[in-house]
Amino acid sequence: MTGLAVSQGILAQPGTVAFLVVFGMAVMLFFVFRSMARHLRKVNQAAREAAESAADAESLDGSPGPSANSAGNGSADWR
């Protein structure tokens, strides 16, 4: 009868500790994913602005950027 009547604290139970660990990880992941989405939006905006500025520069110069033959369609000149 020595071990049966001993009460354990709330944090001594493995289910409670496991729940708190999983909940803490979920909270951290929420902030990590939110930050990642913010950074991806910045990268997407920067890429869009770079493409627009390249298109503007191309239209002002009159010279096409990459050749239409070497656009990855397999018809590049290999000479």
Question: What are 33's two structure tokens?
Answer: 């994913």
Question: Quick one: pLDDT band at residue 13, thresholds 50, 70, 90?
Answer: confident
For 61, other C-beta atoms within 10 Å of its C-beta total 9
Per-residue confidence (pLDDT) for residue 48, from 0 to 100: 93
Residue 44 in any domain: the answer is yes
Per-residue confidence (pLDDT) for residue 76, from 0 to 100: 55
Number of domains in the chain: 1
Residue 22 in any domain: the answer is no
For 16, other C-beta atoms within 10 Å of its C-beta total 13
Per-residue confidence (pLDDT) for residue 15, from 0 to 100: 87
Residue 3 in any domain: the answer is no
Residue 48 in any domain: the answer is yes
pLDDT in tens, 31-78: 999 999 999 999 999 999 999 998 888 888 765 555 555 555 555 555
Per-residue confidence (pLDDT) for residue 31, from 0 to 100: 98
